[in-house]
Every structure is written in C-alpha cells, then in structure tokens.
Structure 1
Amino acid sequence: MTFPPLREELRGIAPYGAPQLDVPVQLNVNENPYPPSPECAADIAAAVADAATSLNRYPDREFTELRQALAAYLSSDTTQPVTPAQVWAANGSNEVMLQLLQAFAGPGTCALSFAPTYSMYPEYARDAMTEWVVGHREDDFSLDLDAARALVLERRPAVVLMPSPNNPTGTALPPEAVAVLCEAAGDGIVVLDEAYGEFRRPGVPSALDLLPEHRNLVVSRTMSKAFALAGARLGYLAAAPEICDAIRVVRLPYHLSAVTQATALAALRHAPALLARVADLRAERDETVAWLQAQGLRVAASDANFVLFGTFADRHRVWEGLVERGVLIRETGPQGWLRVSVGTPAEMTAFKDALVDVMKEQAA
C-alpha cells in the first residue's frame, strides 16, 4: 500500500492556490488594494486585546453579537430586513460553502454549476464526496435559462453553486435567473455566492431581495473583498433559519474564534469608511474595461473588482511577459483569457504600461 493512505480520488492532485510571487504589482487574487484605515486598525487591535484577556475560555459558539451586526449590515443592502436567525458565519466563504455541502450533499448526490465558474467549487464537492456536474454559459458568459432549467431538472442537484458576480468573468446573475434555478431545484439548495456583491454596478440588485420568495435560496458574502479583511477570514450567509439550524449539525465546535469575532465586529463598526473605497474601485474597474476595449481586446462585463479580458493565442506568454515586468495577474478562465484584479491607480497604470509593452513585443 502507498503511504500515506490518501483517498484514491485525491492522489496526484496539487493543492489549490494562486501563484505567490514577489513582484511589485500584485493583481491576481482580487484583494482590496486599500488596507483598513488607521482608525479601523486601532479599533481592531483594541478589540483583539480585550478578547485576549479571556482566551482561556471558549468563544460564543453562536457568535450572537456578530450575527446581529451582520444582519444589520445586510439589511442595509436589501428591500427585505435580514434577521440574526437568518445569518451564519464561518472562517471565510470557503468554509461556508464546505459546510453547506457537508450538510445538504454527500455521497449519492451531486452539486452543480455553470462554467466558467469559481475553480474551488469542484474541490468543495470532492471534499464532501459529492458528484460534480457542470453546465456551460453562453459566449457572453450569460446563462441560457431554458438550458439551465433543463439541466437542473435532469440532475436534481442537492446544491447549486452560482457566483454572482461570477468569478472569473465578473458577470452578475439577473433576478429572473435566480428564480428559475430556485424553482427548478425543488428542495435542493441554491447558493448565490455574492463574494463581490458590494462591487456590483448601480441598479444591479442583490439576491438578498429574493430570500422571502424562495426558502431554498442561500446568499453568501465575505469580508475579504469590499471590507479589505482577506487576512481575517470571515465569510457569512443569509438564508432561512431552518438552513442555518441544519448547518449547526456539521460545524466544528467553537469554529469562530474570539479573535475572529472581535475583528469582524470592529470592522463592521467602520463599515462606511471601509466601503467608501468601493466607489473608487468601481470607477477604476470601469475605466480599465474601457481602456482594454480601446486596445482591441474582448472584455467581459464586470460587476466585480476584477476584469476578464482576452483573447490571446498564448495567454501564458502574455502572463509571463507581465511577470517579467513586475506585474502579476491571474491565468484563469476560458482558454485565451486573463483576469486582472483592480488595484490602485498607480498599480493599474503599471499594468497597462506592461500590457502594451508585452503586446507590442509579441506582435513584432
């Protein structure tokens, strides 16, 4: 027997992870380029210091105060109030997704999405011993609703995973598509992953508005992106209280540390200041889209803090050329496409200058 006795389906698989390279301009993992304000950082430090005085005790396993604060925040972004009983949180939206699959999927069931989609989804399914089923989007990365309904009805997935805005394309899912998926799924769970929801363009609604209409709908968010807290690892969801209750069965004991809870609560106290940068990033994104189009490139419509662009006969050569010039972006999405995170104006200027240089070099 080969040692260690790893599950057979895991043998030979490389761990997930974007390249981590020491270059001046890092625009590859959709981080917020603006750190928390000094005032927010000081509040977090004070809150953690206070939590440290009782670290000999386990944290509130129901994270009651945090659920109340998250519910209040979500209620400000929807026409329908969200209650604390509808909120669940975990260590990043990755753990939220895995808990959903552990609770509602498993052996003998399948999880479903439509490609291109977030590359971690099939790994969540694999880790939960759930079959992975993938449909496909149209050339403009929209969803053919008739085809989507037919696939869901055919496969009867236990969980449907849909990022909106979609990663890696940045496209948002319209409310009618959410309704179609929820109705076709029956008692299956439909997860709208709004990790980039705060970056959506004016007039694009959140799926939070649809929660009262669909008991099987789950809307997930994260504090890693708009809140500039990628290092804190806090993801959360809003759903029917019955769904949150079910997740409690699979959560590990005291899964949210006292330090994590204190950090998230402090950040939420500074939400207006932290989210003030979102408008700047939206404007920079839209300017980047227009600039890329002016270069004759194809660009996906984006409601996120990143832009998918192409197409290149050899995208890896373009990616390598940018790295050589000190700019790291992501080689992901359909063949021929690349994804750039939106950074500061100076970072985006460096990206544009490098890309122009690379394209000229490769055209020569």
Structure 2
Amino acid sequence: MNELNFKRHRRLRINENMRSLVRETHLHKEDLIYPVFVVEEKGVKREISSMPGIYHLSLDYLVEEMKEVVSLGIKSVILFGVPEEKDECGTGAFHEHGIVQEAIRTLKKEVPELTVIADTCLCEYTSHGHCGLIEDGYVQNDESLKLLVDTAIAQAEAGADIIAPSNMMDGFVAAIRQGLDEAGYHKIPIMSYAVKYASAFYGPFREAAQSTPQSGDRKAYQMDPANRLEAFREADSDIEEGADFLIVKPALSYLDIMREIRDRHPVPVVAYNVSGEFSLVKAAAQQGWVDEKAIVLEKLTSMKRAGADLIITYFAKDVAKWLNE
C-alpha cells in the first residue's frame, strides 16, 4: 500500500504552549467596556433580577464599584441613567443635573483614569419609553434630534470622554457632531450605535434601564433582524456624518454583519454583547448546564475574530478576573 499523502495540521495543536504560540485572536482586558446603571436614589446597590451580578448603583456606591473595575484592569465604562422622574420629552437626559451628568462629574473627580462613555438616548427618561418625541403615535425624527444634541452637549460639559448615541434617528450623528463642534467639543469622539437591530435580546436591559415602551415597539427606527445591506447603509451614513467608532448590536447573532462592517470601514468596531446574551449564559450556568467561563471566553473571542476591536459586555469584570488568573 502506498504511503498516504496528507497535511498534518495537528502538529500546531499538540500542547497548550504550541496552541498559544500560533493563536490568531486574543482577548485583552483593554478591549472591555463595562456597562453601568446609575440611579438617583441614595444608598442603593440593588441587583437586577434578570441580570445576576449586575446592579443599580447610586452615586455613593458608584465610586467604590468603579475603583474595583479599574483595579481589575478595565479602562472604560458606559453609563446608563435611571431617573426618578420621567416626562414626555425626557428632560432628565439633557438636564444639567441629570443622573448621567452627575455620575460623569463624580467619576471624573474620583476615578479620573477611567474612560467614561455616555449613552446618548431618551428612552430611559421618557414617560412613554421611546427614543424620541411622539406625535400621533409616531416617533418624530427631526424634532427628536434637537433633544439628542442637547443631551450630548450636557454629557460633554459634564466631562464625558466619548458620546455614544443609541437612538437610531436618521441624521443623529450629523446633528450631534455639529452640536458638539459648535459648543466647543470638537475633540470629543462619537461612538455610534450605527448598526442596532430591533432584537429580542434586549429584554433584561429594559428591566435594568426601566425603558420598556409603554405602547408599540421600536421596529420603526431600529433595524429589521433579517436585513444585511441595510447595515451597510447605516454604517456608511454614520461615517460620512462624523462617527469615530461603529457599534454592532447585538453581537452574537450578527457576527456576519460585524465582519463585513470591519472589512468595509477602517475605524474601531465595537461589539455590544447585550443583556439577553448575558442572562442566557448566566441562567444556564446557575443550573450547572454549561461551563460559564469557557462559554463566555469563547463567545467574546468569536466577536474579536469577527472583527470587533472593543466589546461592551456585562461579563467585563468576570473576564478581567479570568484573564488576570
């Protein structure tokens, strides 16, 4: 019998040292952005029922939590505000003393080494739970842009390092870029939620942010999960309008989109590992059905492999601890 002629790929998998030597994709603590929910109450560190290990934090607990985050090697957080009072136009989003603005000031004073990203939207602050002004049952686009600009400027004035608009109104990057520049904040980058699908994976977040729409849904402004080409139109527009980062949200079900956005645009791409993706793993791990550490590291590595430079993830603290080990 003639000797078989075939490739021996297993030579590069023979042991852990060899596998580490040839590993193509790496996950670093510096890649992680930790989402934080801040509330206007005092003395609050309240676990979110659908997101084990994630808390509502009042300002007096926020600093302690963020110092732990920095000690783990995580350099960036993104802030979401949960106000005590809401109204039709989301005044708390752009008020000088809104909860996110107060949190930014606190962190820039007490934890100055932390990069603070401000989520720029209205849904947590509106009584109806939508991301813009409503008229005749429809979320108005152009009328909402002014309030989003006011929100971005208020966040920049408070000291935010990056503005991250998540509202999915047409022209939101152009409006915010112009507003920031005219207010003297031309150095502040915009991390755009450029590709944001109307996903079923957001449920736990809406509990955390108390932002569930009181009527209807967000399908008239967030993207159809069935669409691919639409993502390119959205990302292309945001780059033309001045976006410095592009977010793909959710991450796991849209890795194909992330890869194509990465190939299409030479700016940092951010994967948002959303609340539903987090909670599903946590629930299965609590039942003993999966190895949480192995699954999370595999999942986040897949996002890096698909082209993400950065990952917004509720697993950030866990991952940093695992990487430190």
Q: What TM-score do you get using the length of structure 1 for normalisation?
A: 0.29
Looking at secondary structure, tell me which structure has more strand per residue: 2
Q: What TM-score do you get using the length of structure 2 for normalisation?
A: 0.32
